[in-house]
């Protein structure tokens, strides 16, 4: 790992064992981009990569020079209105109304490790030598605005972390109207664009299309990263696959409004921008005030999408998630929501917990309905005090009863919301986001608290902390069941209303930081009507997230497969729920529900007392299996083998670090008859190890299983014999592979 500056040519070269990132000071003093990709040798030059030509109809920088035009130069911080007609990375409105800026190179410094971003989540380093950070200081002489461009290169892997800090050193205020975290200008557009998109209950489906001339983008203006589009993007070469080929993954470490955009110009150059969505953003900077953009991450690979995903998995597990639970396997839990909804008593909850304990469950979670006047979703939000009609001894009393069973206790909160039928709203009706004299929309009969205000966050913190200080709570499910509308704060003036969306998220981060600091051993799981805020920003505080409110096994195959493109298996909340499923009313076999949920944190979302004796025995077997293999499943190397978006079968697998053990999940959506023989080519094994297969005890070398494949043919390859159990729709199997001596 090294950061090299060539004084003579004004070229910067960041490199490690995998990648090179090269840029230079341009003739006009701005920063130009030259290369990002596979590691190459360093040399004094590289200025030959700055190509210019006298192109017709271009606006040129220097009088009498028809060659140098910002319209055709690759840049690090492109600005607005000075010859580059592509979308800028920064736009600054000044007191005279101008939006023109000119950020020129001033100086640089190199820091060991990685600086923290104040008030924001970001990747981090622990050990000396893990990373180096280049900081470029750019200056706009007219406004006095400084831009510090941060580039952190890690010692291993194709990872580059980027962000920008703006500081107003001028004498007049300015307003940032666009402050993207990353710009990457690429020399061609020969890429497929891959995004993770969907809607509530079908989040993070893999969507792919060709990159083409014009602008294409994903983003959110909902106040949360959203069910619709995840802040993650892949540009891959058309022939790249899971196992081979070039790809660049982009991830935004942020939980609010975002934009990820690729613009292809008339000469087939591609510009990628990642940052806070400019359509809902403005930030007013008085003299001496500063603004820090959130972190954007880039991962380059020439070894396929699975390699890119594994790089993100390792980074997010070890250098984004933090604290007590970062490296620990997740407890197997049972959540009462789909078992009872609002219809429960303390004794009923304990009965569910008793049966769960009998089966081996480790954590009981009480969901919505335990507080205030909360008998439905019309009342109670904001009153975080136990309803003693339901819980006579409060949360502390119920937690003690659960603890006496030998289980941990968890609790649901939705701290960012309030019902108008609540004591909190009656005391502070001005604490919600709303525009004076305008109608205010609701979602799920609730309104959004103004988390841009410190006194609001302080109040919610004290209510939550009081419960956590008195009760044995080991887990918090943090929900957020509506997006933001009428984003206006009564505590800020007109010039700062463009800041409220971002200030809101900073308030959420502040509450998370205070709670996780005071209660470091509490496991936080993020939730936003399921997967509406499943993003790297929240992963910094909560090491796992409820992936979707849709717990149907078939739908979860797609959701969890797409999620794995960026996020580690240890972060994916996944449960076995009742059938018919409460979202799609589909009935799937109990073993298939478990076989999908194993590839996540694993738990149950039902009342085990309602299962048959035979089903209870199956549940006990499932839990015993998960306890034996959860470290491998949650922290092993994960491989996608067959996509649920491309056929009737899906397969994935997890491999231990020593490659001596693997778990393969194989799934078929609809049953077939007289079908072909089938096999799946495995990944990540040691070619010289001999593995015993749990299904039939057969033994095969790793190279055979990876090149010829694991045979998955069953009775559907013909007509089911009378002495065999027939296959059904939504069939699945697990194959356990263990290395053996030969």
- What tokens were used for 35? 């290369």
Question: How is 341-371 classified by DSSP, letter by letter?
Answer: TT---HHHHHHHHHHHHHHT--EEEE-S--B
Query: What is residue 717's DSSP assignment?
Result: S
d(CA 221, CA 244) in angstroms, rounded, equals 35
pLDDT of residue 128: 84
Beta strands 174-186 and 270-276 are: antiparallel
- Phi, then psi, of 381 in degrees rounded to 5: -60, 130
Of the candidates 230, 254, 206, 205, the one whose C-alpha atom is nearest the C-alpha of residue 532 is 230
User: What mean pLDDT do residues 107-130 have?
Assistant: 96
pLDDT digits 0-9 by tens, 551-574: 999 999 999 999 999 999 999 999
Cβ neighbours of residue 173 closer than 8 Å, sequence gap 6 or more: 95, 284, 285, 286, 287
Which residues participate in catalysis according to the annotation?
479, 549
Q: Is the pLDDT of residue 184 over 90?
A: yes
Per-residue pLDDT band at 417 (split at 50, 70, 90): very high
User: What mean pLDDT do residues 92-116 have?
Assistant: 97
Is the domain spanning 2-182+232-260+275-319 CATH 3.40.1010.20? The answer is no
Of the candidates 276, 150, 327, 148, the one whose C-alpha atom is nearest the C-alpha of residue 537 is 276
User: What mean pLDDT do residues 600-614 have?
Assistant: 97
Q: Is the pLDDT of residue 540 over 80?
A: yes
Q: Regarding predicted confidence, which is higher, 716 or 683?
A: 683
pLDDT digits 0-9 by tens, 310-347: 999 999 999 999 999 999 999 999 999 999 999 999 99
pLDDT digits 0-9 by tens, 424-467: 999 999 999 999 999 999 999 999 999 999 999 999 999 999 99
Q: Is the pLDDT of residue 718 over 90?
A: no
Of the candidates 600, 615, 619, the one whose C-alpha atom is nearest the C-alpha of residue 553 is 600
d(CA 410, CA 388) in angstroms, rounded, equals 18
| Token pair 């697998």 in the structure block, residue | 653
Q: Is the pLDDT of residue 720 over 80?
A: no
CB atoms within 10 A of CB 720: 15
Chain centre distance of CA 253: 8
Q: Is the pLDDT of residue 723 over 80?
A: no
Per-residue pLDDT band at 423 (split at 50, 70, 90): very high
Mean pLDDT for the chain overall: 96
d(CA 615, CA 622) in angstroms, rounded, equals 10
Enter the pTM of the model.
0.97
Q: Is the dihedral of CA 562, 564, 567, 569 positive or negative?
A: positive
Cβ neighbours of residue 466 closer than 8 Å, sequence gap 6 or more: none
User: What mean pLDDT do residues 581-586 have?
Assistant: 95
Chain centre distance of CA 670: 31
pLDDT of residue 645: 97
pLDDT digits 0-9 by tens, 266-280: 999 999 999 999 999
Please, are residues 339 and 605 in contact by the beta-carbon 8 Å criterion? Answer: yes
pLDDT digits 0-9 by tens, 469-498: 999 999 999 999 999 999 999 999 999 999
Per-residue pLDDT band at 719 (split at 50, 70, 90): confident
Percent of the chain residues past pLDDT 90, beyond the cut: 94
219-225-226-227 Cα dihedral, nearest 10 degrees = 100
d(CA 149, CA 136) in angstroms, rounded, equals 5
- Phi, then psi, of 198 in degrees rounded to 5: 165, -130
Q: Which segments of 114-191 are extended strands (E)?
A: 131-140, 145-154, 159-168, 174-186
d(CA 150, CA 139) in angstroms, rounded, equals 15
- What tokens were used for 478? 């943090």
Topology given in CATH for the domain delimited by 649-740: Immunoglobulin-like (2.60.40)
Q: Is the pLDDT of residue 721 over 80?
A: no
CB atoms within 10 A of CB 663: 22
Please, are residues 728 and 589 in contact by the beta-carbon 8 Å criterion? Answer: yes
Burial class of 64 by CB neighbour count within 10 A (0 to 12, 13 to 18, 19+): exposed
Query: Fold identical between 2-182+232-260+275-319 and 649-740?
Result: no
Please, are residues 670 and 592 in contact by the beta-carbon 8 Å criterion? Answer: no
In the CATH scheme, what architecture does the domain 333-635 have? Alpha-Beta Barrel (3.20)
d(CA 244, CA 305) in angstroms, rounded, equals 7
Question: How is 375-408 classified by DSSP, letter by letter?
Answer: SSTTB-TT--SB-TTT-TTHHHHHHHHHHHTT-E
User: What mean pLDDT do residues 215-231 have?
Assistant: 98
d(CA 734, CA 599) in angstroms, rounded, equals 11
Q: Within 13 Å and on the Cβ side, how many CA atoms surround 164?
A: 25
d(CA 219, CA 260) in angstroms, rounded, equals 6
Please, are residues 739 and 655 in contact by the beta-carbon 8 Å criterion? Answer: no
Element (DSSP H or E) covering residue 417: strand 417-418
Burial class of 59 by CB neighbour count within 10 A (0 to 12, 13 to 18, 19+): exposed
d(CA 334, CA 184) in angstroms, rounded, equals 45
d(CA 501, CA 483) in angstroms, rounded, equals 11
pLDDT digits 0-9 by tens, 61-73: 888 888 889 999 9
pLDDT of residue 742: 87
Of the candidates 684, 629, 626, the one whose C-alpha atom is nearest the C-alpha of residue 655 is 684
Cβ neighbours of residue 316 closer than 8 Å, sequence gap 6 or more: 536, 539, 566, 567, 568, 571
pLDDT of residue 1: 74
d(CA 183, CA 136) in angstroms, rounded, equals 14
pLDDT of residue 356: 98
Please, are residues 71 and 86 in contact by the beta-carbon 8 Å criterion? Answer: yes
**Helix 590-597 with 553-563: angle, nearest 10 deg:** 10
Distances (CA, A) of 175 to 172, 280, 281, 464, 599: 10, 13, 10, 36, 46
Q: Is the pLDDT of residue 724 over 80?
A: no
User: What mean pLDDT do residues 74-91 have?
Assistant: 95
User: What mean pLDDT do residues 668-678 have?
Assistant: 93
Q: Within 13 Å and on the Cβ side, how many CA atoms surround 633?
A: 26
Domain residue limits, the chain: 2-182+232-260+275-319, 333-635, 649-740
Please, are residues 702 and 653 in contact by the beta-carbon 8 Å criterion? Answer: no
Q: Is the pLDDT of residue 60 over 90?
A: no
pLDDT of residue 45: 84
d(CA 287, CA 601) in angstroms, rounded, equals 48
């Amino acid at each position: 790992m090294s950061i090299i500056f060539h004084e003579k040519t004004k070229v910067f070269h960041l490199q490690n064992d995998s990648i090179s990132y090269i840029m230079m000071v341009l003739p006009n003093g701005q920063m130009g981009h030259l290369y990002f990709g596979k590691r190459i040798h360093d040399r004094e030059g590289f200025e030959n990569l700055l190509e210019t030509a006298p192109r017709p109809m271009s606006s040129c920088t220097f009088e009498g020079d028809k060659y140098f035009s910002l319209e055709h130069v690759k840049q690090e911080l492109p600005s607005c209105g000075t010859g580059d007609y592509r979308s800028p990375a920064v736009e600054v409105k000044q007191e005279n109304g101008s939006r023109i800026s000119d950020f020129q190179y001033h100086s640089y410094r190199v820091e060991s490790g990685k600086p923290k971003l104040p008030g924001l989540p970001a990747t981090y380093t622990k050990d000396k030598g893990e990373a180096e950070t280049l900081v470029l200081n750019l200056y706009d002489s007219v406004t006095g605005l400084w831009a510090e461009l941060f580039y952190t290169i890690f010692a291993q892997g194709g990872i580059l972390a980027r962000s920008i800090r703006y500081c107003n050193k001028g004498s007049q205020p300015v307003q940032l109207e666009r402050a993207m975290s990353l710009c990457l200008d690429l020399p061609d557009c020969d890429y497929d664009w891959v995004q993770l998109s969907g809607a509530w209950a079908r989040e993070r489906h893999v969507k792919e299309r060709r990159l083409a001339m014009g602008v294409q983008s994903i983003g959110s203006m909902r106040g949360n990263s959203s069910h619709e589009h995840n802040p993650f993007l892949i540009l891959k070469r058309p022939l790249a696959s899971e196992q081979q080929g070039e790809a660049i993954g982009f991830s935004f470490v942020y939980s609010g409004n975002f934009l990820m955009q690729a613009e292809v110009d008339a000469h087939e150059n591609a510009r990628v921008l990642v940052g806070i969505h400019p359509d809902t953003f403005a930030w007013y900077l008085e003299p001496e005030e500063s603004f820090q953009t959130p972190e954007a991450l880039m991962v380059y690979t020439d070894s396929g999408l699975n390699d890119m995903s594994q790089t993100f998995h390792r980074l997010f597990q070890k250098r984004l998630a933090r604290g007590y639970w970062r490296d620990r396997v997740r407890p197997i839990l049972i959540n009462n929501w789909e078992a009872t909804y609002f219809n429960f008593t303390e004794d009923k909850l304990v009965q569910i917990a008793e049966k769960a304990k009998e089966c081996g469950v480790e954590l009981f979670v009480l969901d919505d309905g335990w507080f205030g006047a909360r008998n439905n979703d019309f009342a109670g939000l904001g009153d975080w005090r136990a309803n003693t009609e339901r819980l006579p001894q409060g949360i502390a009393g119920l937690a003690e009863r659960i603890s006496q069973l030998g289980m941990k206790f968890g609790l649901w909160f939705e701290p960012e919301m309030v019902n108008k039928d609540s004591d909190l709203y009656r005391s502070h009706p001005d604490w919600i986001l709303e525009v004076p004299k305008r109608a205010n929309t609701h979602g799920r009969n609730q309104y959004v608290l103004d988390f841009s205000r410190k006194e609001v966050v302080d109040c919610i913190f004290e209510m939550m902390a009081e419960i956590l200080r008195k009760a044995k709570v080991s887990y918090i499910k943090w929900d957020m069941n509506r997006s933001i509308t009428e984003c206006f704060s009564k505590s800020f003036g007109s010039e700062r209303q463009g800041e409220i969306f971002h200030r809101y998220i900073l308030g959420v981060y502040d509450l998370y930081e205070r709670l996780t600091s005071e209660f470091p051993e509490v496991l936080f799981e993020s939730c936003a009507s399921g997967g509406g805020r499943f993003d790297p920003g929240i992963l910094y505080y909560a090491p796992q997230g409820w992936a979707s409110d849709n717990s149907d096994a078939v739908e979860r195959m797609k959701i969890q497969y797409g999620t794995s493109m960026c996020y580690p298996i240890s972060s994916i909340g996944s449960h076995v729920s009742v059938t018919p499923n409460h979202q799609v009313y589909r009935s799937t076999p109990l073993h298939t529900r478990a076989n999908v949920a194993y590839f996540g944190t694993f738990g149950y979302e039902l009342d085990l007392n309602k299962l048959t004796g035979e089903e209870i025995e199956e549940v006990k077997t499932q839990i015993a299996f998960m306890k034996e293999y959860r470290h491998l499943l949650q922290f092993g190397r994960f491989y996608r083998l067959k996509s649920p978006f491309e056929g009737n079968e899906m397969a994935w697998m997890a491999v231990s670090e020593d490659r001596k053990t693997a778990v393969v999940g194989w799934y078929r959506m609809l049953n077939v008859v007289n079908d072909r023989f089938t096999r799946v080519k495995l990944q990540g094994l040691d070619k010289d190890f001999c593995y015993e297969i749990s299904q039939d005890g057969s033994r095969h070398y790793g190279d055979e299983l990876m090149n010829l494949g694991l045979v998955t043919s069953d009775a559907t390859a013909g007509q089911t014999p009378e002495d065999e159990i027939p296959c059904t729709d939504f069939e699945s199997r697990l194959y356990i592979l263990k290395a053996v001596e030969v």
